Structure 1
Amino acid sequence: MSAPARFDRGHTDDLMSFLAASPSPYHAVANTAERLEKAGFRQVAETDAWDAVASGHGGRYVLRGGAIVAWYVPEGAEPHTPFHIIGAHTDSPSLRVKPRPDSGAQGWRQVGVEIYGGPLLNSWLDRDLGLAGRLSLRDGSSVLVNVDRPLLRVPQLAIHLDRSVSGEGLKLDKQRHMQPVWGLGDDVLDGDLIAFLEQEAGLAAGSVAGWDLMTHPVEPPAYLGRDRELVAGPRMDNLLSVHAGVAALAAVAASGAPLGGIPVLAAFDHEENGSQSDTGADGPLLGSVLERSVLARGGSLEDRARAFAGSVCLSSDTGHAVHPNYAERHDPTHHPRVNGGPLLKVNVNNRYATDGSGRAVFAAACERAGVPFQSFVSNNSMPCGTTIGPITAARHGIRTVDIGVAILSMHSVRELCGADDPFLLANALTAFLEG
């Protein structure tokens, strides 16, 4: 493959649209499915029997809550043909609505929220926030809702009322200080928020029985910098990888070229709080889909074992770019830079799943794509984060490599990446799926 252009404005523009349209994991999955449908993929229900038609040649996907698994079976694929998997996650740290959301004090109406994942709490202060997610109805169906306009705000305490902030720093209590306001009134009206959302979604009053709702900043993604070489926006961790994975999967499906394996995109929910759910990487979803695909194509358990043994997963998640104000927090010989190409993430204590053979796989994909890559290792004096990579490797026995794009402000309400890097990642993922 010839070397790609260093910067494709169209790809980055499309990423920004994807971020803006995906304020919750459920919206991210719906938008991913829509893109796959346009690329010729068709949904398969987990509750249906999978026959040769359902799992034969072509693109398929399954949806479950905030997770999606999609795959493309090329012509001539054998039941034991290995899988080339891109792993990512759809969730991001946020403020999520509690089961009893209506609260208030001192003439202010508020929404009760619970902290999801590990957000930088201060970044959520004094932001105009919308509300989005999934409404579960009494008839068993569900609908998505997105109030994408200024609706809520977590107001910060004025410095005049806390002079210690300048010297001692901001100290936030997750329970007392992070509850947003959304109106005025002395009486707490039970059911007020859900009634409002029923109206917003065009639903009959009283039709909502449950909800999975979260706040999101309404400020859209934007180019930043003197030469617009940076992108600022929400939920890059980890919708940037989901978007790149969709683009790569659609590209190899459209190419019609011979493939060395069956390309797969697995975008899970709940990575930010441990992945232990039916839609998380530590759940059975991916293994069930891959095994059923093997068996539906006439394979046996032996074929399944052979396919898994030859499979490789690229666990794609954002990583830390070197911070100009805190360079000492990074390993002194590993300073990843934005627009320097995707990261290969290494940790010998298996917080990342990469080993030497995995490095060779990723290096070969980047070489074929004409894409530079960088290595990331944590400073020995600091704990290392983790990803779905080790979970995928341990749960399914699939060789896994941890990669990603370097960003600043990880887990902030608004993160920062290089404008080149999303395109470079997508090219590297495409080459991996082709190989």
Structure 2
Amino acid sequence: MKSHFDSSMDMKARDFALDLIDFIDRGPTQFHVAALVSSILKSAGFERLDPVKEWKISPCDCCFMPLGESGVIAFRAGKLSPWEKGFRIVGAHTDTPGFKIKPQPFIRGEGNSIRLNTEVYGGPIYSTWFDRPLAIAGRVIIKGDNEFQPCSVLLDTEKPVAVIPNLSFHMNREVNNGVAINPQTDTLPMIMSAGKMVDEPSGDEKSHVPDFNDFIASRTGVKSCEITGYDLFLHEASGGSLTGMNEELISSGRLDDLTSVHAGLRALLHESEPMDHWTVLALFDSEEIGSDTPWGAGSPNFAWLLERCCIAMGGGREHFMRAVAASIMISADSAHGVHGAKPDRHDPTSRPVINCGPVLKSSAAMKYITTAESGSVLKQLCSSADIPLQEFVNRSDLKGGSTIGPIVSTNLPLRAIDMGTPLMAMHSIRELGGVYDHFWFYRCLMEFMNK
């Protein structure tokens, strides 16, 4: 068998994996990811488009538009109009399963101990969140000059401020046999232990509970009275790392789906000759909770943006429909690598292995949007670029997940492909991926965008 490895690739793949880890560490929530991507695009010369103003786009322009404050759509205009050569689209998502902090979250416990009231976001593996140093991150909403236009600031405590402690083995001797976890009672993190609180009134020590807005204010520099709301999440305070005997594995939170965000962004920014077609990077929020939000893949926002690009180039509704018919999309989202301890959970013949290449995903129920025809496109691209490609389908007796692919394709009748890099421990607080897979994935997206 021909080897896809060489010493020069080892260094490139390792450096690219370290760049991914840095990117993930700087993006603890979808709001931070969107702000980070927007900043990188702006530094690369991309112009920010205002959705409430008329757009003027010329051939080869580079532009982006935020989706709320948690998603981004960016594109490089082609030399020709989109209805002549179509859009080449890479879609991914910015959100991650975890725990979101509820309003008025402080719950008083024994002594003066405080726990945070949280709710589940998406489908995290609960047990992996226990006994971890947890930080808090997200966006904080503050009063604006206009009641209809409040402002927001980003918050990341970076340092750990909370922990979800396990119950002692001696009080839960069945813990290693599997114990049900209640997300309303068992996964609420402790943020303050018993003892005298800071700045509490001396005459009412036992009844005083500090205000969470005061905590936020102390970390953001805004006044507590100016805070009107927040979208805050827990995240692991320790960053990602390379692991394995040869540092060939990536251990990090949020690999699903920031591997795709990172690879797609780097592919879009890769310098190449101007293409006839348009290249698009669409980063949606809310995939982990169904995509049915204004900034999710189920919204008409994305279709409207593509149509506005056609209008800005002098076209109309008919030209937009022609552009969609000429377009193709990769729905980029993580895949399942064969787990060494549970190999039986995979299909008998389609068994992706970490560091053996990115994965083409398909499903008879179209939970993954790949068809035999669209999959052929990816297979030929990878073959011509000497990129190994694996395939994944679910066991027939196990229900799998889905992606943005079927959702976008339902609203926009274009050809589409589902693919991603293989992971273990998907939806754990720390997931495991391959250094080489991520680099090959990036190269694959470059081929797709620039071929």
Cα 1:258–1:61 shift into 2, 3 Å: closer
- How big is the shift at 1:334? 1.2
TM alignment of 1:344-423, pairs within 5 A = 344-423=360-439
**Are 1:173 and 2:176 an aligned pair?**
no
Match of 1:119 in 2: 124
Deviations 1:50-89 (A, max 9, x none): 124xx65321001122111000003344554310000100
Match of 2:61 in 1: 58
Q: Which moved more, 1:235-244 or 1:198-207?
A: 198-207
- How big is the shift at 1:191? 6.3
Give 4+ residue runs of structure 1 displaced > 4 Å after superposition.
Answer: 185-191
Match of 2:53 in 1: 48
Match of 2:157 in 1: 147
- How big is the shift at 1:423? 1.0
Match of 2:21 in 1: 16
- How big is the shift at 1:259? 2.0
State how far apart, in whole Å, the 1-side matches of 2:377 and 2:389 are. 12
Match of 2:147 in 1: none
Match of 1:279 in 2: 295
- How big is the shift at 1:400? 1.1
Tell me the SS of whatever aligns to 1:403.
strand
Q: 1:70 aligns with which of 71, 74, 82?
A: 74
Match of 2:198 in 1: none
Bigger-Rg structure (1/2): 2
**Are 1:200 and 2:219 an aligned pair?**
yes
Matched AA of 1:178:
T
TM-score by length of 2: 0.92
Tell me the SS of whatever aligns to 1:148.
coil
Match of 2:312 in 1: 296
Q: 1:182 aligns with which of 173, 188, 191?
A: 191
- How big is the shift at 1:204? 1.9
State how far apart, in whole Å, the 2-side matches of 1:72 and 1:157 are. 53
State how far apart, in whole Å, the 2-side matches of 1:14 and 1:208 are. 34
Deviations 1:3-30 (A, max 9, x none): 8954322211110000100000010111
**Are 1:225 and 2:244 an aligned pair?**
yes
State how far apart, in whole Å, the 1-side matches of 2:234 and 2:78 are. 41
State how far apart, in whole Å, the 2-side matches of 1:190 and 1:73 are. 55
Tell me the SS of whatever aligns to 1:23.
coil
- How big is the shift at 1:367? 2.5
State how far apart, in whole Å, the 1-side matches of 2:174 and 2:51 are. 56
Tell me the SS of whatever aligns to 1:213.
strand
Cα 1:286–1:115 shift into 2, 3 Å: same
State how far apart, in whole Å, the 1-side matches of 2:220 and 2:366 are. 45
Any gaps of 5 or more consecutive residues in structure 2?
145-149, 196-205
Any gaps of 5 or more consecutive residues in structure 1?
none
State how far apart, in whole Å, the 1-side matches of 2:316 and 2:186 are. 56
Cα 1:85–1:191 shift into 2, 3 Å: farther
State how far apart, in whole Å, the 2-side matches of 1:386 and 1:411 are. 14
**Are 1:29 and 2:48 an aligned pair?**
no
Deviations 1:99-152 (A, max 9, x none): 221212112111111010000000000000000000111111111011011100
State how far apart, in whole Å, the 1-side matches of 2:364 and 2:83 are. 34
Q: 1:236 aligns with which of 241, 244, 255?
A: 255
- How big is the shift at 1:353? 0.3
**Are 1:158 and 2:158 an aligned pair?**
no
Deviations 1:377-420 (A, max 9, x none): 11111012111111111111121110000000000000000111
State how far apart, in whole Å, the 2-side matches of 1:71 and 1:369 are. 24
State how far apart, in whole Å, the 1-side matches of 2:158 and 2:304 are. 36
Count residues in correspondence: 427
Tell me the SS of whatever aligns to 1:328.
helix
Match of 1:211 in 2: 230
State how far apart, in whole Å, the 2-side matches of 1:98 and 1:285 are. 28
Cα 1:151–1:311 shift into 2, 3 Å: same
Tell me the SS of whatever aligns to 1:391.
helix
State how far apart, in whole Å, the 2-side matches of 1:389 and 1:74 are. 23
Cα 1:49–1:120 shift into 2, 3 Å: same
Cα 1:163–1:288 shift into 2, 3 Å: same
Tell me the SS of whatever aligns to 1:30.
helix
Percent identity between the two aligned chains: 33
State how far apart, in whole Å, the 2-side matches of 1:134 and 1:191 are. 21
Match of 1:434 in 2: 450
Matched AA of 1:351:
K
